[in-house]
Amino acid sequence: MPFRGDRGSIPGMSDRAATVLPDLTGELALMTDDIKSNRGKPVVRRFNELLDALERAHANYAICGAVALGAHGAERYTKDIDVLVADEHLELVVTELTGTMSELGREPAQGPAKQIRLRAKRAKTDRAVDVDLMAPVDAVEAWALATSVRARAFGRKVDVVSSEGLVLMKLRAYLSDPESERGGQHRTDAMRLLRLGTVDVAALRQFVRSDAALSAALERVLAAPPPRGRLG
């Protein structure tokens, strides 16, 4: 496996000099606001606890979801932190977090977990900052993890899914539920990333060439006219 963050060494990914690391700080800062309380959410503390656990476990991971969107310039509010974690490291990370966090649930309930949701033990309400740890379940997520890039947040280095990986993850999520509001949000997220002009479209087309449904979804989004007003 190529060194994570060395985008030029990954087949199909064009060289792009990374003079400035993507920054998650702005997106994480959005999460601190809580309109239902006079106190902000403890996002910085929770993020540092998570990053400490990932580092102690020597985990192969990448921040994904809306937090990663913000790192690539497409900020939108989210209530939790999503992390892709290699299968062999998932339970190690959970063990490292057991001092401060407890499990809300895992899927599947029996056998090796593919998703584990955690919340701080001291959280008094469901307005806490939850953490979702997810093992890759398909080729898209495996590719997103393998092509992760270095970013920063609150002065620390962190690995995040690339803009290309996010586009494919969003399109795959959209295809799984295209008629729902959530599915539409995933499609909008992919469009926002593509319109920022920082996505290697050639690399995406090369990756999806053997997946007719994903390839067609990518081409439809690329050909779609810009929506009126601001993107969601």
Give the residue extent of every domain in the chain: 18-161, 162-227
Structure confidence by residue, pLDDT tens digits, 172-182: 999 999 999 99
Structure confidence by residue, pLDDT tens digits, 168-204: 999 999 999 999 999 999 999 999 999 987 899 999 9
What confidence score (pLDDT) does residue 228 get? 55
pLDDT at 231 over 50: no
Q: What band does 129 get if pLDDT is binned at 50, 70 and 90?
A: confident
Find the helix packing angle between 212-223 and 181-195, rounded to 10°: 70
Q: 223 CB contacts (<8 Å, ≥6 apart)?
A: none
What confidence score (pLDDT) does residue 49 get? 93
Q: For residues 19 and 24, what is the distance between their CA atoms, to the nearest angstrom?
A: 16
Q: What band does 160 get if pLDDT is binned at 50, 70 and 90?
A: very high
What confidence score (pLDDT) does residue 88 get? 96
pTM summary value: 0.85
Q: What band does 45 get if pLDDT is binned at 50, 70 and 90?
A: confident
Task: For the chain, give the percent of residues with pLDDT over 70.
Answer: 84
What confidence score (pLDDT) does residue 204 get? 95
What confidence score (pLDDT) does residue 12 get? 47
Which top CATH class is 18-161?
A: alpha beta
Average confidence score pLDDT of the chain: 85
Mean pLDDT of 205-227: 91
What confidence score (pLDDT) does residue 14 get? 47
